[in-house]
Amino acid sequence: MKISIDLTVNGERHQVDTTPWITLLELLRETLHLTGTKEGCGLGECGSCIVLVDGRPVNSCLMLAVDARGRQITTIEGLVSNGDLHPLQQSFIEKGAVQCGFCTPAMILSAKALLDENPDAGEEEIKQTLSGIICRCGNYKKIIEAVRTASDGKADS
Amino acid sequence: MNRLKPFAYFEPTTLPEAIEILAAKKGAAFPLAGGTDLLVRMKRGVIKPSTIVNLKRIEGLDQIKKEPGRGVRIGALATFSAIEDSHLLRLSHPVIAQAVSVLACPSIRNLATMGGNIGRASPASDAAPFLMILGATVSLKGPQGERELGMGEIFSGPGTTASRPAEAITSLLLPDMASHSGAAYLKIGRREGMDCALAGVAALVTFSGGKREAEDTKIALSAVAPVPMRAKKAEKTILSGRLTEKCIREAAKVASEEISPVSDMRASASYRREVVRVLTYRALMTALQQAREG
Ligand SMILES: Cc1cc2nc3c(=O)[nH]c(=O)nc-3n(C[C@H](O)[C@H](O)[C@H](O)COP(=O)(O)OP(=O)(O)OC[C@H]3O[C@@H](n4cnc5c(N)ncnc54)[C@H](O)[C@@H]3O)c2cc1C
Ligand code: FES
Ligand code: FES
């Protein structure tokens, strides 16, 4: 059972053939070869597969690819613009918020969604936003610090 | 990769069409809403549906709107994020945004729907307790037409609802809250939000004019019985006299005694009892505070 879908990934329109049982995660990694999005558990529990759908974070392992039809998807590959890193990517590097890097795409994309909506999000909101993502390296402190550096941080001061 | 096994797939654009497909497949077809439960159980191999009926392309099933004179209607396909962000609900039923903020995490809430939560009929649902204290009714539609069930009737056992074959949940109606009311939902899990509740308690207090005796109270519990339940004995304790701190303390004890918790890998039955006592006390105190201010 083939279904043809239209979706926009990182600003680029794609028309792809898929089957109903393919998840958005599989489509991104295996059809579009965007391997920045990771699978940890495949069951919604670890958050490493998070991408933005119409600007909001969702677990791509629990979304059928057919439900991405007509939607705007942003993956970690889409954050660089004209060769420049996104401010969050920059601050993750500067603060040492990346260890093995497996959780990083999900952390950065979720933080981006938060800061796009609320540029001066404080620590509590940052923690809430990232609460569904497990960092196996236990690097939470630096991750939160990196997001705070990228936010205006007015909410805390 | 954790993959799904192939299935036949339908994407109806109207409710009658969806019901027709569900009826034709006689129990082998599952409706799909947010998928945060269904796809997980399929990947784990707990269920093996031969047919999936995706409800998300049906227009209008995700609306949240005022129903003048009756309350607020939440469409079955409304996501918990939409519910949490709804300005209307924040004003009409503030306990909902508070409760939803401890349901899973933001990325799951962007997918998970209210109808899916009821459809799952989990004993540990975080939505059932607040729906119970608010007196919500569930609207269903099936081959035989439409009907409504109260929250006290909708669950028939752990993981099963009282819905008939090929019936879909279409919406929930939340009656407006009485004035001088307050409500709260509290939950304890091992991993904040993300974990199933070890115990969850929703409490509602409504004062009469004098603000000494409670005119109404409702207490609903999750994860401590085969289905989410009302703590009716504890409610009676609250309604039996002046609403003092001592009375709330007593009601919390009564609640912890009227439940039938199990011991499992998450917690022992006696721990759950203790948690229910503490959470009931706190939820009632918070509801009381709000009711005094309201
Ligand atoms: C990581 C994680 C954390 C979670 N944390 C929580 C939590 O803290 N609290 C909590 O309560 N839940 C939690 N859940 C469970 C789940 O997210 C919720 O129960 C959610 O509300 C299910 O909704 P859904 O739209 O995703 O349902 P789906 O997965 O689409 O469907 C669930 C079931 O209901 C049926 N169904 C769906 N829609 C309808 C309808 N309109 N009519 C009839 N039947 C229908 C489906 O066939 C299926 O059997 C969690 C899940 C995950 C993966
Ligand atoms: S891979 Fe999707 S949540 Fe773990
Ligand atoms: S940096 Fe290794 S998982 Fe987070």
Residues 6+ apart with CB under 8 A from B94: B183
Tokens 């057919």 — which residue? A66
Q: Point out the ligand nearest to the CA of residue B121.
A: 1
**Which of helix, strand or coil describes residue A119?**
coil
Assess if CATH 3.30.465.10 describes domain B64-175.
yes
What separation in Å is there between the alpha carbon of B292 and the centre of ligand 2?
Answer: 44
Helix (H) or strand (E) holding B152: helix B151-154
Rounded Cα distance between B274 and B1, Å, is: 41
Query: pLDDT tens per residue, chain B (294 residues)?
Result: 999 999 999 999 999 999 999 999 988 999 999 999 999 999 999 999 999 999 999 999 999 999 999 999 999 999 999 999 999 999 999 999 999 999 999 999 999 999 999 999 999 999 999 999 999 999 999 999 999 999 999 999 999 999 999 999 999 999 999 999 999 999 998 765 566 778 999 999 999 877 678 899 999 999 999 999 999 999 999 999 888 999 999 999 999 999 988 888 888 999 999 999 999 999 999 999 999 887
In this prediction, the answer to ipTM > 0.90 reads yes
Same fold, B8-54 and B64-175: no
CA–CA gap between residue B95 and residue B287 (Å, rounded) = 9
Suggest the residue from B52, B107, B113, B195 to mutate for an interface test with chain A (most A CBs closer than 10 A). B107
Interacting residues of A2 by C-beta distance below 8 A, sequence separation 6+: A17, A18, A19
Atom of ligand 2 nearest to the CA of A47: 3
Domain A87-151: top CATH class: mainly alpha
The answer regarding whether domain B8-54 maps to CATH 3.40.50.2000 reads no
Q: Residue B135: CB within 6 Å of ligand 1?
A: no
CATH of domain B181-292: 3.30.390.50
Residue type, A96: G
Rounded to a whole number, what is the distance in Å from the CA of A21 to chain B's nearest CA? 6
For residue B163, the ligand 1 atom closest to its alpha carbon is 43
- Ligand at minimal distance from the CA of A108 is 3
H-only helix segments in B25-111 = 38-43, 80-85, 87-92, 94-100, 106-109
Domain covering A3-78: architecture:
Roll (3.10)
Dig out the tokens for A13 from the structure: 């329109």
Distance from CA of B105 to the nearest CA of A (A): 5
> Does the Cβ of A134 fall within 6 Å of ligand 3?
no
Tell me the domain boundaries of chain A. Answer: 3-78, 87-151
- In chain B, domain spans: 8-54, 64-175, 181-292
- Dump strand ranges (E) for chain B: 8-10, 29-32, 51-54, 64-67, 71-75, 137-142, 145-150, 155-157, 160-161, 168-175, 181-188, 199-207, 214-222, 229-230
